[in-house]
Amino acid sequence: MGKSSLVKAVHAHVNGLGEAAIRRLVLIEIAREDIEALPRLMRVIAREDARFIVFCDDLSFDKDETSYKSLKTILDGGLEGRPENVLFYATSNRRHLMPRDMVENERSTAITPGEAVDEKVSLSDRFGLWLGFHNCDQPTYLAMIRGYCDEYGIAIDDETLRARAVGPRGDPVRQGTGGRTGQGHPMKTEHRLRWSHGEATVLANSAMLADCTFTVDSRPFAPFARAPWLGTVDDPTITGHLRVLAGDFVGLPFGSGQGFRNAPPEWAALPGLPAYRSTHGTAADGDWSFVEADDGNVKLSIDYPADSAVVRIEREITPRPDAPALDFVMRIFARRRALTSAGLPELPPARNARPAGTEGGFRVRPHPSRPDRHRRPARIPEPVCRTKG
Amino acid sequence: MGHIPLSPQTDKNVQLCGMKGPLTATWLDEGLGIELDWDRVLLPSLMIWHTDRGIGGPPWYNQFRAVGLEPIASAFDLATEVSAAANPINARGVATAINLDPAAPLEIRHSIRAFAAG
């Protein structure tokens, strides 16, 4: 929860002090896999005039690893150890830089109980200063998100912030309540789904499915269009799905509201009204919040305006295990009884014309009659809001 | 609309009312396709939106090319007021709107499955 951010903040702060004794403080991040190169790095930077923080993020060691010995040498100091102008910072999610079960296991199986594990545990003891980062409670978590919103100038009332941060049902979010999670919920802009038969990105904007590639018989297959302007629009008058037009999204109400040209008489009599608020409604014209997100599932939610007959929509996209397929669920929660249009645009790309009479191209075929595998009871239970306590 | 493109720079909608089965779209050259299946009770129509460099102005600038396959409860993509009122499609018994009810949240499912064309 903010461990590596703290290291970087310390570096920025010290450099910003402009103290004469510290002419230059350099932060070097070293990958976990490169720990064995530490002695060589030390020899190089020891000759420099600057001071260094050598930083390893998410450091830990698994069973049978010996690379920790390089780090131990550095931490010990001495001839081959840490030069005077170097401090070593590390973050870890493990108390002793190794799994708890490994500590216990080695303690119980060593010839001299405790000796084998002590060498690795002693590594963690060689750090001069320990700072604990404990899980925060929900009020602290919400305060952190409020801080992010203030920082980014996002105007949001407490009730909406809480609903988006902890989920529409008041449940804690699946990922926990860490700082990165807190930052991610109101402002997370996309999520990548990965499974055995494909990859796809789901955007917060319009909950748009973008860049979906299935794997079919070991071949990549990207069946959806992608607007060439996706990700490049900075015109503030272009909003919502138009900025990110791609594979699959939700229209509620559905429709652009454009009238017919040369309409037949029975249609010409109908009013030529504009779309309600925007083309394909709030669902396609705003940022959704990520409620849950991991490799195998993503769930988003969007609130509708207070004067709408819809309270909110949830959208869930789930890769089908062991198949090149995606399953979608949309749940619509109403504020009052009403009729509304609804639609699910899927956008395969258009192709060039083929010479008349040649085989090939793109064929769309409605199947005349087949049971609908998606037919479920339309009624679903209303979620019960509850507070954690 | 059996063959596309209909014409250069086109932008056309066709609504298939009262769909009875899923839809397959096959790229015959690649031998690959997708099957689109959905809740056809709640969304009984399929709109095919063929747009091939047919929309100008920002951000389109006559660049976008797609064959939209769109399960809908709607009268084309007219305003929702038209879909919710009497119109020539729901006059034929094909719903052009869904019923919102606070006591009965709606769940609409659909899926996309890719396949290798035999």
Model confidence over A101-120: pLDDT tens digits?
555 455 555 445 555 555 65
Instruction: Provide φ and ψ at A176, rounded to 5°.
Output: 95, -170
Residues A13, A18, A21, CA angle at the centre, nearest 5°? Answer: 110
Write the residue in A281, A332, A359 that is nearest to B100 by C-beta.
A332
- Cα distances (Å, whole numbers) of residue A60 to A35, A56, A93, A94, A309: 11, 10, 8, 7, 52
Instruction: Provide φ and ψ at A222, rounded to 5°.
Output: -110, 95
Q: Which residue has the higher pLDDT, A195 or B8?
A: A195
Test mutation, A339, A352, A382, chain B, max B CBs within 10 A: A339
The stretch A179-205 carries a mean pLDDT of: 78
Question: Residue A354 — very low, low, confident or very high, per pLDDT cuts 50/70/90?
Answer: low
C-beta separation of B2 from B68 below 8 A: no
Write the residue in A237, A341, A344 that is nearest to B83 by C-beta.
A341
Listed residue (B103, B83, B98, B81) closest to A335, CA to CA:
B103
Residues A96, A101, A102, CA angle at the centre, nearest 5°? Answer: 65
- Cα distances (Å, whole numbers) of residue B76 to A55, A77, B15, B23: 59, 75, 6, 18
Chain centre distance of CA A170: 20
ipTM for the complex shown = 0.95
C-beta separation of A138 from A388 below 8 A: yes
* Tokens standing for residue A289: 């919040």
Q: Which residue has the higher pLDDT, A187 or A309?
A: A309
Task: Tell me how close the Cα of A277 comes to any Cα of chain B, in angstroms.
Answer: 10
* Tokens standing for residue A368: 């005349």
Q: Which residue has the higher pLDDT, B26 or A134?
A: B26
Using an 8 Å CB-CB cutoff, list chain B residues near A369: 20-21
> Most confidently modeled of A45-59, A169-183, A371-385?
A45-59
% chain A with pLDDT above 70: 74
Using an 8 Å CB-CB cutoff, list chain A residues near B72: 251, 254, 341-344
Q: How far apart are CA A215 and CA A274, in angstroms?
A: 41
Question: Residue A162 — very low, low, confident or very high, per pLDDT cuts 50/70/90?
Answer: confident
Q: Is the pLDDT of residue A383 over 80?
A: no
Write the residue in B65, B79, B106 that is nearest to A350 by C-beta.
B65
Q: Is the pLDDT of residue A186 over 70?
A: no
Instruction: Provide φ and ψ at B95, rounded to 5°.
Output: -60, 140
The stretch A324-339 carries a mean pLDDT of: 96
- Number of CB atoms found within 10 A of residue B8's CB: 10
- Cα distances (Å, whole numbers) of residue A331 to A247, A272, A307, B98: 20, 29, 19, 13
CB contact under 8 A, A266 and B88: yes
Write the residue in B37, B79, B87 that is nearest to A276 by C-beta.
B79
C-beta separation of A67 from A35 below 8 A: yes
Residues paired with A287 in a beta bridge:
A205
Instruction: List A residues 275-314 in contact with B (Cβ-Cβ < 8 A).
Output: 275-276, 281, 309-311
Residues A146, A386, A138, CA angle at the centre, nearest 5°? Answer: 30
The stretch A82-96 carries a mean pLDDT of: 79
Mean pLDDT of chain A: 78
Question: What number does CATH give the domain A3-125?
Answer: 3.40.50
Chain centre distance of CA A26: 30
Write the residue in B27, B30, B114 that is nearest to A325 by C-beta.
B114
Q: How far apart are CA A159 and CA A126, in angstroms?
A: 46
Burial class (CB in 10 A: 0-12, 13-18, 19+), A249: buried
CB contact under 8 A, A323 and B113: yes
Task: Tell me how close the Cα of B90 comes to any Cα of chain A, in angstroms.
Answer: 12
Q: Which residue has the higher pLDDT, A76 or B107?
A: B107
CB contact under 8 A, A332 and B108: yes
The stretch A229-233 carries a mean pLDDT of: 84
The stretch A149-153 carries a mean pLDDT of: 79
Query: Where do the structural domains in chain A lie, given as residue ranges?
Result: 3-125, 135-187, 190-259+272-350
Listed residue (A231, A179, A209, A362) closest to B52, CA to CA:
A362
